[in-house]
Amino acid sequence: MPINQPSNQIKLTNVSIVRLKKGGKRFETRAHRGRQVACYKNKVQEWRKGVETSLDDVLQTEAVFVNVSKGELAKAGDLKKSFGNLSQDDIIKEILKSGDLQVGEKEREHELTNLRKDIAHRVAESVVEPSTQRPYSLAIIEKALSEVGFSVDPSKNAKSQALVAIKMLTQSAKLPVQRARMRVRVTIPAVDIERLGSKIKEGAEVMEDTETRAELWEATLQIDPSQFRVYKELLDKECKLGRLDVVDHTVFAPPAA
């Protein structure tokens, strides 16, 4: 004979938890992961950003718990005491919006693995071997990051951590690297060449070409990314009619024939 489950308990599987403590009590919602564990957290984040608007696509069940592991539902009196006259939907929305997202171990490891690969990919797209100006393979970058002791911080985005990783590599002797150059185009009035031409040329790693036409002087340069701000400030200060355009964010030497 099957054992009847208490009416205030619901047993669910393959779920994660959003938890909020309010009015001295802890309340939890079970959020739907779907078939792919990695998709769950993204769904919650999309809902918090307003990209996802349907609770049906976020929740596995529209219920509020006090103990998810035991499947114990929150009592109506406790909900009213903590949330006042809010409807069930509004209570769930408050928990989803302000609660702490509990991530399972497998999901956390999956996210860290993806974040680590994203960081390594960004680094590989941003650095070169100094003597050849050619990029390293992703495998070499991943190995080098491991050797210099780079560790992933799950609370920070890949872009900011890639900058930290590049700095660690450039300061280490494990792998010779430098930031890949940017290709930019500087445009100034031809009458300002004598005054600004030398300053523009001295900041360039490579001066590709120059051209004067229609009373304008244009120069295409390869520069270290750190020099972009220097050029921008120079034109803002010294030449209000000057322009600085990015042609390529990264410049790699062509592969050997």
Handedness of CA 9, 10, 13, 15 (dihedral sign): negative
Nearest-5° Cα angle at 159, 154 to 161: 50
pLDDT at 30: 64
pLDDT at 6: 43
Tell me: pLDDT of 12 over 70. no
Q: Is 237 helix (H, G, I), strand (E, B) or coil?
A: helix
User: How would residue 257 be classed by pLDDT, with cut points 50, 70 and 90?
Assistant: low
- Span 94-114, mean pLDDT? 77
Tell me the C-alpha distance between 172 and 243, whole Å.
Answer: 37
Question: pLDDT (tens digit, 9 = 90+) per residue, 195-208?
Answer: 999 999 999 999 99
- Span 209-224, mean pLDDT? 93
Q: Which CATH superfamily is domain 105-178 in?
A: SBDS protein C-terminal domain, subdomain 1 (1.10.10.900)
Handedness of CA 31, 37, 41, 42 (dihedral sign): negative
- Single-letter amino acid code for the residue at 156: K
Q: Is 112 helix (H, G, I), strand (E, B) or coil?
A: helix
- Span 90-96, mean pLDDT? 84
Predicted TM-score of the model (pTM) = 0.62
Domain over 181-251 is classified CATH 3.90.470.20 = no
Eight-state DSSP code of residue 126:
T
- Per the prediction, the chain carries an average pLDDT of 83
Tell me the C-alpha distance between 105 and 93, whole Å.
Answer: 25
Distances 28 to 1, 18, 255 between C-alpha atoms, Å:
32, 6, 56
Domain residue ranges of the chain, discontinuous segments joined by +: 15-102, 105-178, 181-251
pLDDT at 94: 86
Specify the CATH number for 15-102; select among 3.40.50.150, 3.30.1250.10, 2.40.50.100, 3.30.1330.60: 3.30.1250.10
> Are 32 and 43 a contacting pair, CB within 8 Å?
yes
Nearest of 170, 176, 199 to residue 186 by alpha carbon: 199
Tell me the C-alpha distance between 73 and 96, whole Å.
Answer: 16
